[in-house]
Amino acid sequence: MRVVVDLNRCQSYGQCVFAAPEVFRFQGAESLEYDHVPDAGSDQAVERAALACPAQAILLGRSAEAGVVSQAVAAEMR
Amino acid sequence: MTSTQPYPAAAAYGRLLDQANRHDPYPYFAELAGEPIQRLAEHRWVVSRHADITALLRDPRLSAQDDVDPEGPAGSDGKPFRGPFLMLDPPHHNTLRDQTMHQFMPRIMGMGPRIEAMVARLLDRQAGTGPGEFDVVTALAYPLPVGVICELLGVPAEEEPVFHSFASRLTRALDPVESLTEQEIAELQVTRADWRDYLMPMIARRRDRPGPDLVSGLLTDGDPETRMNTVELATTLGLLLIAGHETTVNLITNGTLALLRNPDVLDRLRADPGLAPAVVEEALRYDPPVQQTSRRATADVRIADQVVPAGDQVVILLGAGNRDPRRFAEPDRFWPERPGNAHLAFGGGVHYCFGAALARMEGQAALSAIATRLTRPRLVADPPPYRANMLLRGPEELRVGFDAVTG
Amino acid sequence: MTPRRIVIVGASLAGLRTADSLRANGFTGELVLIGDEPHEPYDRPPLSKAVLAGRTGTDRLFLPSAQDLNARRLLGVAATGLDLAAGEVRLADDRRIGFDRLVIATGSRSRPWPVPGEAALRGVHLLRGREDADRIRADLTAGPRRVLVIGGGFTGSEVASSCHDLDIPVTVALRGAAPMASALGEAVGTAIGARQRAHGIDLRVRTTVTALHGDAEGRLRRVWLSDGDELEVDVAVVALGSVANTEWLAGCGLAADPRGVECDAAGRAMGLDCAVVPDVYVAGDVARWRHPHFDAEPQALQHWGNAVDQAEVAAHNLTHRHQRPATALPAFWSDQFGLNVKSVGLPHLADQVVLTQGSFERGPFVAAYGRGGITVGAVAVNSPRVLDGYAALITERAPFPPAINATDSPADATVLSAGSNSAESSGPALTTVHGGQS
């Protein structure tokens, strides 16, 4: 699972910090920090956090695609 | 103005307030949401759409504060005391709320297993192999939040009935003052005084011998300069009790009702208890425990094509915004898997529900247990009877029949 | 007509979000994502904050995509040319990639230190990509005597904050009158600067760095400042703003220069004749455009949120006949010294500013910005939950100063001169507009 928070939308309600404290935390009174690539064991907690966000600012990537650095395929791409 | 009604929205709003419609206010919400903003009376407006409500709850020009009574006792900021932080604006609101949050959050972190155990114990009382029925309100929805708040405050179990009684009586304080009779207002004054009388010895004990509880934390932690005084402390504890109580009752009861009316969702939750967080969010949207709130404009505020003059009151229909088809596809469908469920049940902005995280935990534990432990649950009466309260709306009782309650 | 192959040049936030949104919009054709960095797309805002302070690593910043992109990713290879007539992108390894539609999202890079010999000293850094952050982090963990931050924009201020988190002495030298003044104006910049100083930062305004000196091994040891001071410094971070990555577009016929690629609000690239070039879109830091809400010159909005908004607009317009303009109000944030700074609208356009809530001296505050008597922006410090009210004022072009009258509004709200870019526009000392190290 990958996570990104739109920190423009985020209004620091802290619901994610409560739902998944191992992934989301406050650094200062209103500044959210988080792990973009949490451990697999946190998946459920992260999903709870995304559901609970009042600003719906948490985007989760469930895509299983690997990040392939692909150069070989380019030859036939003309 | 009493005999003839110059404002059409007032009629729809009147039907919303009518006890006869308490079991299903949503047609009236939809009617009111036909326009973004309408006048209910001189200096009183109603707003019903999701986008407008979201913006207004996060607008500093909408005050949650009533006019200050200069005769009141002093708050910790040296100014006249104005009530619980729910009804205060920044900056004093933040001082009180932050202090309370600082004590509250660490204590509810990790409370999930304790809450699940409380739910299990409450349902154990119904356990048996035979068919039967029980009232979700008295057997589960009421005792759970009282048990949780008593544990947070370090109150022994035998005092829970006292808390329960205070919670019910103080809840009227959240209703709009104009909806209360003079007698009710007088009773409320007495209840508030009783509450302070009840708390003072406890506060004194905690001050002398602080324990691990929230009250001790509020009395001893942080900067003594800004620490809340005794009146503020008693008021804050009252707020936690009433705001965290009836609301959670309604969440659990409304959620149970929605599940029993939507057996496909109940089956999905039974098969996958991991769906519980989404079910709770959807219950909060579909049938929110708090149906409306209100604010006072501190400056002229434009809402859609209308300018609401400074000083006017704005009634915000959270229940209507939660069914706004401009924001939610198929708004009248109970659909936990819906994407982007930005419901308004907990409000928003600086007054976003203080206890949202705790309410979610209690709701998830209760609804999962209902789904997994009751064999063939069904409603005994549909609709169930509702309490008179419109602001904090919920069934008075919710009798559920079952074939068995598994252990 | 639905395109068969869309090529996106630039595989950072804007490029990735364009690809993601194309799939969300139902585009089923071929998608090619080209990026010069040999990494999957990653999030840059944490580089100057959590990464430098050691709270996360650069290998843990990968960006999610909500959809299966099913894209061919050509990563680690830069685009070096564009042939519009042939519909081809030329790559650094001389390969050519044909396209039906093209999205330009090549972003920007840090403006380098102008003296090459000094820039080459070990210990002198730019901060743009994850390798930069790794190098600075390594230098910070080695226990430098002092860090010099050159430039007082958002990136510079955040770097200083991270050094402060690590208890490393920091000097910030900036040409302007206050940190972040080109984006937030002098009044707010001065208020935040005072709080930086309260954390022990050696903040030197109207000060430039006159020389960087290394030792025999070519390692930075000493710096000279225009105020006559000389400091023993082991690490310098050059944070002097950015230039758009447009060299690869030279001579292709698009209106591209170091300020960006000009495009309309729908994201469509413009030619040198100021006409829209068919089938070519621009998104993110590299896009230079005129926001329809504001009466201003075309400009690049180098914000995280702008990359997201423009990516979504480009993806919509690539898949629909109706071309939708980008209308979302610009917004950005910065986190530094325990302060959450959030902006909505375009405060840097303002000629006037007024404190509307709280106090510049302590605690949270909000300031509103006006231009020609119209509210055009707002900045909230540790007050993220009231900003939507200001967004509404900006959207409706409310008169400035706006009436707020909140309980925490100051009794006498003095309208101040914004003093933002007029004083700054001459030099490269500060970023023009910047948010979250986008």
Mean model confidence pLDDT for chain A: 85
Q: Give the contacts of A18 (CB within 8 A, at least 6 positions apart).
A: A52, B105, B108, B109, B357
Which residue positions in chain C have pLDDT lower than 70? 1, 420-438
Residue C94's Cβ-count burial label (10 Å; 0-12, 13-18, 19+) is exposed
The pLDDT of residue B72 is above 90: no
Residues C261 and B79: their CA atoms lie apart, in Å, by: 56
Residues B399 and C19: their CA atoms lie apart, in Å, by: 52
Residues of B in contact with A13 (CB under 8 A): 352, 356
Give percent of chain B with pLDDT exceeding 90: 70
What's at B304, amino acid-wise? Answer: A
CA distance C219 to chain A (A): 33
pLDDT of C424: 40
| Weakest mean pLDDT among B67-81, B140-154, B356-370 | B67-81
Confidence of residue A65 (pLDDT cuts 50, 70, 90): low
Average of per-residue pLDDT across B137-161? 90
Spatial contact of B392 and B290, defined as CB atoms under 8 Å apart: yes
Residue B340 DSSP symbol: S
What's at C11, amino acid-wise? Answer: A
- What is the 3-state composition of chain A as percent helix, strand, coil, each rounded to the nearest 5? 30, 20, 50
DSSP string, B40-89: EETTEEEE--HHHHHHHHT-TTEE-PPPP-TTSPB-TTSSBP---GGG--
Q: Residue B319, CB half-sphere, CA atoms under 13 Å: how many?
A: 27
Confidence of residue B180 (pLDDT cuts 50, 70, 90): confident
Q: Nearest-CA residue of chain C relative to A23?
A: C56
Residues B123 and B125: their CA atoms lie apart, in Å, by: 5
| Residue B109 touches partner A, C-beta closer than 8 Å | yes
| Weakest mean pLDDT among B43-52, B220-229, C168-177, C229-238 | B220-229
CA distances from C139 to B185, C122, C136, C145 (A): 67, 9, 5, 11
Calculate the CA B269 to chain-centre distance: 24
pLDDT of B4: 56
pLDDT of B178: 64
Average of per-residue pLDDT across A67-72? 41
| Weakest mean pLDDT among B143-157, B330-344, C313-327, C419-433 | C419-433
Residues B168 and C234: their CA atoms lie apart, in Å, by: 66
Residues C143 and C126: their CA atoms lie apart, in Å, by: 19
Pairing of the two strands C101-104 and C5-9:
parallel
pLDDT in tens, C98-118: 999 999 999 999 999 999 999
Q: For residue B193, count other CB atoms closer than 10 A to its CB.
A: 10
Return the partners of chain C (3 or more C-beta pairs < 8 Å): A, B
| Residue B58 touches partner A, C-beta closer than 8 Å | yes
Largest interatomic CA distance in chain A: 53
The pLDDT of residue B124 is above 70: yes
Mean model confidence pLDDT for chain B: 92
Q: Which residue has the higher pLDDT, C295 or A10?
A: A10
b/e per residue, C167-202, with b = 16+ CB within 10 A?
ebbbbbbbbbbbbbbbbbbbbbbbbbbebbeebebb
Spatial contact of A31 and C335, defined as CB atoms under 8 Å apart: yes
pLDDT of C412: 83
Residue of A18, A29, A47 lying closest to B357 (CB–CB): A18
Q: Give the contacts of C14 (CB within 8 A, at least 6 positions apart).
A: C105, C107, C283, C284, C285, C286, C307, C308, C310, C311
Contact B109 A48 (CB under 8 A): no
Residue of A44, A52, A55 lying closest to B360 (CB–CB): A52
Q: For residue B110, count other CB atoms closer than 10 A to its CB.
A: 9
pLDDT of C413: 81
| Residue B278 touches partner A, C-beta closer than 8 Å | yes
Spatial contact of C349 and C296, defined as CB atoms under 8 Å apart: yes
Q: Residue C174: which of C198, C194, C148, C144 has the closest Cα?
A: C148
Residues in chain A: 78
Q: Specify the 3-state DSSP secondary structure of B401.
A: strand
Average of per-residue pLDDT across B367-372? 98
Q: Specify the 3-state DSSP secondary structure of B6.
A: coil
Residues of A in contact with B108 (CB under 8 A): 18
Contact C386 B299 (CB under 8 A): no
Q: Give the contacts of B277 (CB within 8 A, at least 6 positions apart).
A: A47, A48, A51, A52, B360, B364
pLDDT in tens, B262-303: 999 999 999 999 999 999 999 999 999 999 999 999 999 999
Query: Which ranges of B110-157 does DSSP label H, i.e. alpha helix?
Result: 112-124, 136, 143-153
Confidence of residue A72 (pLDDT cuts 50, 70, 90): very low
Largest interatomic CA distance in chain B: 63
Q: Residue C31: which of C17, C13, C49 has the closest Cα?
A: C17
Residue of A3, A6, A67 lying closest to C73 (CB–CB): A67
| Residue B349 touches partner C, C-beta closer than 8 Å | yes
Residues C310 and C22: their CA atoms lie apart, in Å, by: 12
Give percent of chain B with pLDDT exceeding 70: 96
Q: Specify the 3-state DSSP secondary structure of B364.
A: helix
pLDDT of C22: 98
Q: Residue B38: which of B76, B17, B11, B67 has the closest Cα?
A: B11
| Weakest mean pLDDT among B173-182, B279-288, B305-314 | B173-182
Q: Give the contacts of B199 (CB within 8 A, at least 6 positions apart).
A: B233, B234, B237
pLDDT of B164: 83
pLDDT of B154: 86
pLDDT of C422: 44
Residue C5's Cβ-count burial label (10 Å; 0-12, 13-18, 19+) is middle
Residues B112 and B122: their CA atoms lie apart, in Å, by: 15
Calculate the CA A6 to chain-centre distance: 9
Spatial contact of B146 and B160, defined as CB atoms under 8 Å apart: yes
Contact C406 B65 (CB under 8 A): no
Residues B266 and B377: their CA atoms lie apart, in Å, by: 10
Q: Nearest-CA residue of chain A relative to C30?
A: A77
Average of per-residue pLDDT across B73-97? 85
Largest interatomic CA distance in chain C: 66
Q: Which residues does residue C235 pair with via DSSP β-bridges, in sequence order?
A: C147
Residue B36's Cβ-count burial label (10 Å; 0-12, 13-18, 19+) is middle
| Residue B105 touches partner A, C-beta closer than 8 Å | yes
Q: Nearest-CA residue of chain C relative to B61?
A: C404
